[in-house]
Structure 1
Amino acid sequence: MDTDGANVRCGPGKHWTGYQSVIVFATDGMNTDGENVRCGPGKHWTDYQAVIVFATDRMDTDGENVRCGPGKLVTGCQSVIVFATDGMSTDRENVRCGPGKHWTGYQSVIVFATDRMDTDGENVRCGPDKHWTGYQAVIVFATDRMDTDGENVRCGPGKHWTGYQSVIVFATDGMDTDGENVRCGPGKLWTGYQSVIVFATDGIDTDGENVRCGPGKHGTGCQSMIVFATDGMDTEVENVSGGPGKH
């Protein structure tokens, strides 16, 4: 990971650069000296209520705590997100979060484990007929394999997301239960949330208008980008959008 912090920033002095895909994770507890959030050789993700781990092909294999790929494990975190790329093995051994937690065989997989997550691996599943339900915080990642009938990816009562190549939804306690406030697609808006993740694919515009996180925050020209917006996220629905015609 580059240390010049020119391309990706999240909060004062927070920089991450030089990746094919970038994740920005900002929490209230994030230090402003840029020392606590690091990724790469000898770099650690620490002191956060929730942690996001994004492993690309360039990620070194010597990391003991956060690894992704053959023989790589993610364990022992109160809250963990794992993003596995094409290199993810399908033997169910490579991506784990806590005892008995396994996710396998997906081109892209995100795992979000909260305190309420059962340890038998039954409650968090991804694939046909799998549902994400009953969590204080939930992430939904929809790939090409996602059904378009709105039945396979759900987040709480009446929450549906369908037919998108790549979609991430982060729902906090403030998420309404009527399924009206979190939507993705033409004319759909991301509003009024303490925490929101937007995943923009190749369709993202490069003019810096479509993916933003807080006032003056812009994400442009990336093949893949995740934006994590904290309390500072505007509620006017203008600051977070993804892709042409996506609001």
Structure 2
Amino acid sequence: MKILVTVKRTIDANTKIRVMSDNSNVDLNNVKMALNPFCEIAVEEAVRMKEKGDASEVLVVSIGDKACQEQIRTALALGADRGIHVETEASIEPLNVAKILAKVVAEEQVSLVILGKQSIDADNNQTGQMLAALTNMPQGTFASEIQIHGDKVQVSREVDSGLQTVELAMPAVITTDLRLNEPRYASLPNIMKAKRKPLVMTTPAELGVDIKQHTQLLKVEAPAERQAGVKVASVAELIEKLKHEAKVI
């Protein structure tokens, strides 16, 4: 069984975000970039499946400029077997990503596609669902547990009311939630091995996908800074402030 995992280059989750002075976008100058945390969980789950003997190969795909190869190599160091870099300088929307991935899925004949449920930059949470629709594959989103049973995959997914378990016939699309696993750290030997693993480059045009923009970014604003709180000496003072200053009781 061949598994395809998507990886995205995003701002490191521990980095404080700055907005450009003209509010046109986020300032990426001298900002540390990393593998999207949800994508890291997806890579870890695919590698675990291979270690258990449920998968024969783990293929990682990233879409973007040349810098994306850093995140592909990170995924290879974590245990993936080979990578595909779909190089483009264009701004990629979820629908464009889904169309590109659909072409890769068809060419590679994968049995399972695992994606992070969302990226921490745009937070769209759309690509997995769009890919499932375009390829007519069943989907299990927000997965907190995945089990392979022959040509079926059982997914426990997190919903508002708790957990829902669905069984999907492969090929299928799965998106990962935070509680699915704890990603490993790449060891130095595996980082060195990753440099020698195959990485193929292609473009959207070579895959037959025309990049189209369906949305327009008008303005980016930083969230309003929270005001400092105050300390009170007694419960009576707290109630007084809640009544007359905050006016919540």
Range into which the TM-score falls when normalised by the shorter chain: under 0.3
Whichever structure has more strand as a proportion of its residues is: 2
TM-score by length of 1: 0.27
Greater fraction helix: 2
TM-score (norm 2): 0.27
Q: Which has the larger radius of gyration?
A: 2
**Larger RCO (CA within 8 A; separation ≥ 6):** 2
